[in-house]
Amino acid sequence: MRLLPRSSMFQIGLVAFLLILLLYNTRSLFGIDTTTGGASALAPGFSHTVGPSTFRSLVGYVRSVFDPADTTFSRLSCPSVDSVSIRYEHLRDGTESPHLRYFFALDLRQNIEVLARLLSSIVEAAKFLGPTECALSIVEGNSDDGTLEVLAALVPGFTEIGLAYRLQHSSIDPVETLETQGQWGPGATDRARIQKLADLRNVALAPLTDYAHDGAVTYSATSTQAMKPPDGDTTVVFVNDVALCAEDLLELIHQRRTQKADMTCAMDWNFHQWTLSFYDLWIARTLEGNAFARIPGTGPWKVSEKYLFPDEPETRSRYDARLPFQVFSCWNGLVAFTAAPLLGLSRTGEKAAAQEGLEPVRFRSSRKGECFSGEPTLFCKDLWWAGFNRIAVVPSINVEYSNAGSKAVKKQFGYTSQWTTATTTNDDGSDNDGGAELIQWRDQPPDKLWCVNIPVWQDQTYRPWNETLV
């Protein structure tokens, strides 16, 4: 029998938890090991003293994460999930699954500005999907702006709603001056940075990829909710440090399900010299092997929407209509993909045959003799090689890396629901549009991919898509 309402108990517990942090404010309280280059599996602590003003901020941040209507911080305004719930109802069938359905993963560093919007949207999406059907893995690295403090303060709230949560601190730092000894070829510092980014992504995935089916691997000691075992039907949602809405997450998962896609991506943007430019130009490649736009040899680019897909009219047509289209590679700030290749499974959910010589897919850097590429491009390349070739961009989902930027993006391109509500939805979640939204999948990759060997931006050429794989 509860003497207080559930919400009151949560608030009392939160204040008590934060008071403990205020009194002890040290990493040793949580047993964090920061002496290695990896990540601590213990519950994280704090990077600097938590004073009274920080304490008040923590309370505000926690409140804003668990209440999407909270206005403590200025952030991107988002439609409520209730307003779009019919479209996504098929993502929660009302039954308790023995396996994990949704695994959210993030790498965060110095992200206090977008944290309230970003995590509030993830919480809102997880509540809709069913918190016990989800897990959340966050790797924090080298923040001194309060990011780690807020992430740690969320533990009681995640426990309260039943969301499995693992928060790790990592000292892997892609930004620091890199030791290039032993690296090969030009741009060794860039190559080392990509390897560190790949390592961080793999750390975020570790609760899923290293899961022990005997239950030996659980989430942090401060959370009582253990993670369900993943399987081939588990969807991984990997989110960059973007300001986004819950409907963006749900639409990405919805498209992966209804399109029977192996991976779906959003579109990400940033302001470059006051121009709203497509951000992941170096990562994304079309089904013809081209960049989404021509990359200037002068280096950092600004590519507005009108310059996208100049030589591919069919792709451009689907983009303009905000219809999903197949690509070779993408990331674009926000992705949803099947966990099967991470677990060494085929698309049918069976273990990949040993004679195929396929290892479980992981993020990595370029091999010797391979076009120098970002870890998301190489991840998609390895998906194709493993037989997971249904990769698509969902252009109705548009995000940016700040609250102000995402407000501008939503104003220019529209909220996701402004495009999806233009059609009616069938019981299975598909659009009743005569099939126009469905992708006609192509099984064959392009023969060659456009390669830009940064930092030498002029070094651009087409190279075999499968180099170093055969």
pLDDT digits (tens, 9 = 90+) for 16-47: 555 555 444 433 333 333 333 454 433 333 33
Handedness of CA 284, 286, 287, 290 (dihedral sign): negative
Length of the chain equals 470
pLDDT digits (tens, 9 = 90+) for 139-187: 999 899 999 999 999 989 999 999 999 999 888 988 775 554 445 444 6
Average pLDDT over residues 59-72: 93
Verify cis geometry, omega within 30 degrees of 0, for the bond prior to 455.
yes
How far apart (Å, rounded) are the C-alpha atoms in residues 158 and 67?
Answer: 13
How far apart (Å, rounded) are the C-alpha atoms in residues 252 and 265?
Answer: 7
Q: How confident is the model at residue 393 (pLDDT cuts 50, 70, 90)?
A: very high
Average pLDDT over residues 278-283: 95
Measuring CA to CA, which residue among 47, 56, 271, 222 is closest to residue 149?
47
pLDDT score for 435: 82
pLDDT score for 102: 98
* Termini Cα distance of the chain: 64
Cβ(308)–Cβ(278) under 8 Å?
A: yes
pLDDT score for 256: 98
The mean predicted confidence, pLDDT, of the chain is: 84
The first and second tokens of residue 109, run together, are 């560093």
In the block, which residue shows the tokens 């677990």? 343
Q: Is the pLDDT of residue 253 over 90?
A: yes
Q: Which helix (H) or strand (E) holds 121?
A: helix 112-129
DSSP state of 170: B
Handedness of CA 373, 377, 383, 388 (dihedral sign): negative
Q: What is the CA radius of gyration of the chain?
A: 22
HSE-CB for 466 with a 13 A CA cutoff? 11
> Could you give the C-alpha distances from 108 to 61, 288, 389, 405, in angstroms and in order?
16, 33, 29, 18
pLDDT score for 424: 52
Cβ(423)–Cβ(134) under 8 Å?
A: no
Measuring CA to CA, which residue among 409, 390, 392 is closest to residue 347?
390
